[in-house]
Structure 1
Amino acid sequence: MARTGESESGERESRPSPIDVHVGSRIRLRRTLLGMSQERLGEALGLTFQQVQKYERGVNRVGASRLFDLSRVLDVPISFFFDDMPDNLAGTYGAAPRGGVRGSLSEAQEGFGDDTLNRRETLELVRAYYRISEPAVRKKVFDLIKSMGPTE
């Protein structure tokens, strides 16, 4: 039986695998949260910005060594790229469902629509938050924002 993304003859189909698309979207998310351009990420990895674009769209599959390099450059654990994977994808490929990974971002994001993290407002808010250099002040801002939301 052929894997998703492959034809019965074993050749790669032209459409990207849903997992490659998910990993690519997580690369783009982290890069934009850091305020990093595709060019800068490419330079750090020894790639062109076009290659970075292909990874972010899921057109090019990210290999293990490249994933390791990305986690180092983007300063996230490798598991970050698989966090928030839709349950239907995780189940299809035998991965743990959303709640199965300890410390995944999905726990903190319940109730958000899929596009919340990709909105400009969210990105600007996160960038502004991380520009607060004093850890104690940043913690107070965090606590303030949490207190303004609905209680669980």
Structure 2
Amino acid sequence: MSHPVDVHVGKRIRHRRWMNGTTQQQLAEKVGIKFQQIQKYETGMNRVSASRLWDIANVLGVPVSFFFEGIEAATNNAELTADMPSDILTDKEALELLRSYYAIPENQRRRLFDLARVLSEAA
């Protein structure tokens, strides 16, 4: 059985890779491993070593700490609600929405965020 931290780190790798529009194959080539190993990391099947995580972080343009953000909530299941899937980062529609959101200029993005918050509170 996979350790919850390995699963969380793998999800964060997948999330960042998708946000960058990078394929498993592209990431694997840049890190110097086979794409199947990236698959195993992303599912939490294999644990990522510190040096490999460092390499992945450099390729994906994030600090190593990025992969551990939200770890407390994820391991305690505190962030889950009945309305949301347990792994929203696997939902292609959600990821496309995130990509589109960050493509909007910052001032307009903030207004859209405020609108979404008001609409969700009213629902």
TM-score bracket relative to the smaller structure: 0.7 to 0.9
Q: In the aligned structure 2, how far is the partner of 1:110 from the partner of 1:121?
A: 18
Work out the number of aligned pairs and report it: 120
Q: Name the residue aligned to 1:149.
A: 120
How much has 1:32 moved relative to structure 2?
Answer: 1.8
In structure 2, give the amino acid aligned to 1:121: E
1:126 has 2:98 as partner: yes
Q: In the aligned structure 1, how far is the partner of 2:58 from the partner of 2:114?
A: 29
Q: 2:88 aligns with which of 116, 131, 137?
A: 116
Map 1:59-70 → 2, pairs under 5 A: 59-70=45-56
On the 8 A contact 1:31/1:37 being kept in 2, the answer is yes
Map 1:2-151 → 2, pairs under 5 A: 15-85=1-71, 89=75, 111=81, 112-132=84-104, 134-150=105-121
What is the TM-score normalised by the length of structure 1? 0.62
Q: Indicate the structure whose relative CO is greater, using CA pairs within 8 Å and at least 6 residues apart.
A: 2
On the 8 A contact 1:35/1:127 being kept in 2, the answer is no
RMSD: 2.8
More helix by share: 2
| Inter-CA distance 44–144: structure 2 relative to 1 (3 Å threshold) | farther
Measured against aligned partners, the alpha-carbon deviations of 1:54-105 in whole angstroms (never above 9, x if no partner) come to: 2112232211122122222223332332233366947xxxxxxx9xxxxxxx
Unaligned segments of structure 2, at least 5 residues: none
| Inter-CA distance 147–88: structure 2 relative to 1 (3 Å threshold) | closer
How much has 1:115 moved relative to structure 2?
Answer: 2.5
What is the TM-score normalised by the length of structure 2? 0.74
Identity %: 45
